[in-house]
Amino acid sequence: MQMRQLGTQGLTVSALGLGCMGMSDFYGGRDEAESAATIRRAVERGVTFFDTADMYGPHTNERLVGQCLADVRDQVVIATKFGIVRDPNDPTVRGVCGRPEYVRSACEGSLRRLGVEVIDLYYQHRKDPQVPIEETVGAMADLVKAGKVRFLGLSEVSADTLRRAHAVHPISAVQSEYSLWTRDPEETLLPACADLGVGFVPYSPLGRGFLTGQIKRFEDFEPDDYRRNSPRFQGDNFQKNLDLVAHIEALAGARGCTPAQLALAWVLAQGSHLAPIPGTKRRNRLEENLGALDLALAPADLAEIDRLFPPGAAAGPRYPAAMMGLVNQ
C-alpha cells in the first residue's frame, strides 16, 4: 500500500482511505454485515485510514467502525468528527456547535462509542459561526494535551479560518469535498494547505457516486437517499452532469480502467499531501477504488481531463441551500 503524510506532525496514512458514512446513513440500501466485511477487507488490502463522525447515524457509524477495527487498533488511523448537532426528534434538522464545553463532551462520547482510548485524527466537522475558531481549536488542543486525541483537523473551512486555527495549534489535515466536479478548494484552500504544511483529505472524490458512471436515472435512488435532495442530481442538472461523466467514461475506456478509477487517479495526482477517502459499503467497489492506485496519469492525460472537465463544469450547487449555509467560506 502506498502511504502519504498528512501535515508535519507525524500523521501517516494509506494513500486511499475509506469513508464509512454511507454504511450507516444518507445513501440508502444499508447492509451492516456487508459494511463490516468491507471494513475488514480494506484492512486486509492495506488501508489504514478510516473516516467516521458522531453525526453519522447519528452515533451508529462510530460504533460500527470501532467494533470492526478493534482487533487491529494499533495498525489503523481512525478519524472522527464533532460539531454538527442533529435534533434527536428529527435528524434532518441540524445545527453546529463549537463551544469548548461541547468539544470536550463530544470527544468523550466518540471515545466511548469507538471503544478507543485515543482518537487519531479529530476534526471539527463544521465551524460554528458564533464561536471564534481560536476558542474551539484551543479546546481541541487541550484534548491533545490530555492524551485523548493525537492530531487535529478541520472540515469545510476557509483558508483564513485554517490560518487562524493553525496559529493556535498545528492542524494536520483539512477535509473538504474535492473531485472533478467540485474543484473549489483549488482557489485558496489547497494553496493555504501547501503553504502551512497541512494535509488535505478529499471526501466525495467520486462526486457522491456520480463520477463512477453507475448512476443513470434519478428514479434509481431509494426514498431515503440524500441525493434526491441534492441540486446536482435534480432536473436539468442531472442530464448536464451525465453528459460530463460521459467524457470520463470515454477516457477510462481508452485507458482500460473504470470511470471511478480514472476520477480517483486524478485526485491522487493533485499532490502527495492529499489522501482521498472514497466512501463505499461494498467490497467490490472497494476493490475497484483501490485499483486507482495502479493507474498513473501522464501530463497529457491530466491536460485532457482538465479540458473536458474544467473547474466549475458541474451543473448546480453541491449542497442544498441550508447545508451550504453550514460551510465556512
Residues facing residue 149 across a β-bridge = 119
What's the grid cell of residue 60? 451508529
* CB under 8 A, 24+ apart: contacts of 294-301: 295/255, 295/257, 295/261, 295/262, 295/265, 296/265, 297/262, 297/265, 297/266, 297/269, 301/251, 301/255
Active site residue 122: no
CB-count exposure of residue 271 (10 Å: 0-12, 13-18, 19+): middle
Q: By the 8 A CB rule, do 202 and 267 touch? A: yes
What does the buried/exposed string (b/e) look like for 28-49 if buried means 16 or more CB atoms within 10 Å of the residue's CB?
A: eebeeeebbbbbebbbebebbb
* CA–centroid distance for 131 within its chain: 24
Catalytic residue among 56, 178, 203, 226: 56
To which residue does cell 489504514 refer? 48
Residues 6+ apart with CB under 8 A from 190: 200, 270, 271
Angle (deg, nearest 10), helices 100-114 and 60-69:
50
Give the closest residue to 50 by CA, choosing from 280, 323, 220, 219. Answer: 280
Could you give the residue ranges of the DSSP H alpha helices within 218-319?
A: 235-255, 259-268, 283-290, 299-308
* Active-site residue list: 56
